[in-house]
Amino acid sequence: MVLSKTASESDVSVHSTFASRYVRASLPRFKMPENSIPKEAAFQIINDELMLDGNPRLNLASFVTTWMEPECDKLIIASINKNYVDMDEYPVTTELQNRCVNMIAHLFNAPLGDSETAVGVGTVGSSEAIMLAGLAFKRKWQNKRKAEGKPYDKPNIVTGANVQVCWEKFARYFEVELKEVKLSDGYYVMDPEKAVQMVDENTICVAAILGSTLNGEFEDVKLLNDLLVEKNKSTGWDTPIHVDAASGGFIAPFIYPELEWDFRLPLVKSINVSGHKYGLVYAGIGWVIWRNKEDLPEELIFHINYLGADQPTFTLNFSKGSSQVIAQYYQLIRLGYEGYKNVMENCRDNMLVLKQGLEKTGKFNIVSKDKGVPLVAFSLKDNSLHNEFEVSDMLRRFGWIVPAYTMPPDAQHVTVLRVVIREDFSRTLAERLVIDIGKVLHELETLPSRISAKIVLANEEKDAVAAGKEKKDVQNETREIITAWRKLVVQRKKLNGVC
């Protein structure tokens, strides 16, 4: 969470055991100390606290890259002091960014001529990329409405209820109504037919997800495009499509090349992708690519003369590090098409190993798809005694970070666990995880139900303070407890996002 909060009055100092050979006095926790301390002490104090963080390699909740080759690590350190925005001072870095934009545009089948350059920009992540793409759609829609003499104060965007929280941020920050297609039991992505039905003259675009964060499934962008083409013909509108390929943009081109989801479809006007996910770069780097120059309104581009040269820029941020841009270029030329294909196929194979291992336990329903982002989303077949949140909590004891969460409306009654398969998640780790999940299930079976225990305590309290009052039946009591738990999880999701 971005907003900070202080600890209790009894916890206002930072204490360090090993650094005491350098510093004996405690440091204030929320105020800058009056005096300097040795560099060794500062390092040890911080290092001691960071040991309590989770192991990134075992963080199976995240799509974000947690391992790169040592050679790339060296390039990152060597360029960590370069400010990306100083284009005139660091022209090679700017050139590398432009090369990345063009490589990714060709990967997404942008309609470029032999000497034509792609239109796109590097961003801090897909969140910034989505903000920029959304702003371009909003401005282009407003310009058209103004020219037609029509109202332009009520733009909306159509998405599925499974979109990442950054889409909700865009809608709220830039005053665009978010029209969400509700999910249904067994169908956890946006239904193209329902989405097109929700489109009206104020719709600036329909956002499709290539790789839902909930279950990894690719939405049917081809069907969405075809349905929208027909609706545009009958209405005279020209509603476009944006593809949020944050997770799937570096997967589909390599292992599902026949899948039509990108600029091969005429209504797809922009695509975002996270370089720090399956682009195989540390956080945070993202990319947004437009189909052509006409899809990015010129008035959104700033031309500044900050350090001696004209610098066209279209970003929400100004100063930022150059390291991730350079790291992305390293991965693109180091791996090439063949290398990325090998990595993605290996992730898919390890995903199938984990899926098959979970199926053999006989305890889980698999809600993810084989074709999509390499992850396994699964739920307990029987959660009447113990639920997915308990499984998630107990896996922490083995070091695994496996999230549990409820699906968005109207499938919020479904709770799932999710394991993301990244490049550094080996087959050995997949097999080990299945073993540890088996241990957790066995231990849970020997424990009393958490829900049952709560019901007993609740009933005892009621007997003590309200004797004679009619009790609610066990089924209603259970339902209330589950509902309260899920509300808490939803609130956590809204604050942290499922990423």
The predicted pLDDT at position 26 comes to 79
Is 177 a domain residue? yes
List pLDDT tens digits, range 158-178: 999 999 999 999 999 999 999
Q: Are 419 and 61 in contact (CB under 8 A)?
A: no
Asked if the structure places residue 1 within a domain, the reply is no
pLDDT at 88 over 50: yes
When divided into structural domains, the chain yields a total of 1
Q: Distance (Å, rounded) from C-alpha 432 to C-alpha 442? A: 15
Look at residue 277 in the predicted model and tell me its pLDDT.
97
Average confidence (pLDDT) over 187-202: 97
What separation in angstroms does the CA of 274 have from each of 121, 180, 259, 296? Answer: 12, 23, 19, 20
Most confident of 92-96, 316-320, 371-375: 371-375
Beta strands in 66-136 (DSSP E): 119-123
Q: What is the pLDDT of residue 350?
A: 96
Residue 126 placed within a domain: yes
> pLDDT tens, 14-73?
766 555 666 777 788 899 988 898 898 888 888 888 988 989 999 999 999 999 999 999
Q: What is the pLDDT of residue 271?
A: 98
Taking only the tens place, the pLDDT of each residue in 422-471 is 999 999 999 999 999 999 999 998 887 765 555 555 666 666 665 555 54
Is the distance from CB of 288 to CB of 272 less than 8 angstroms? yes
Question: What proportion of the chain, given as a percentage, has pLDDT over 70?
Answer: 84
The answer to whether residue 180 is domain-embedded is yes
**Does residue 235 lie in a domain region?**
yes
Residue 254, in any domain of the structure:
yes
Q: Which of 34-38, 332-336, 478-482, 492-496 has the lowest mean pLDDT?
A: 492-496
pLDDT tens per residue, range 395-415: 999 999 999 999 999 999 999
Residue 427 lies in a domain: no
- Per-residue model confidence (pLDDT) at position 1: 46
- 497, 102, 122, 72: which is closest to 285 by C-alpha? 122
pLDDT higher for 91 or 226?
Answer: 226
Residue 190's domain is classified under what CATH number?
3.40.640.10
Cβ pair 264, 109 in contact under 8 A = yes
Q: Above 70 in pLDDT, residue 94?
A: yes
Read off the DSSP letter of residue 121.
E
Comparing 208 with 491, the larger pLDDT belongs to: 208
22-26, 53-57, 77-81, 300-304: least confident range: 22-26
> For the segment 414-426, what is each residue's pLDDT rounded down to a tens digit?
999 999 999 999 9
Does residue 457 belong to any structural domain of this protein?
Answer: no
| pLDDT value, residue 13 | 73
What would the mean pLDDT of 302-314 be, rounded to a whole number? Answer: 71
Average pLDDT over residues 348-366: 97
Domain boundaries, position 96: 75-334
What SS3 state is found at 166?
Answer: helix
Instruction: Output the average pLDDT for the chain.
Output: 89
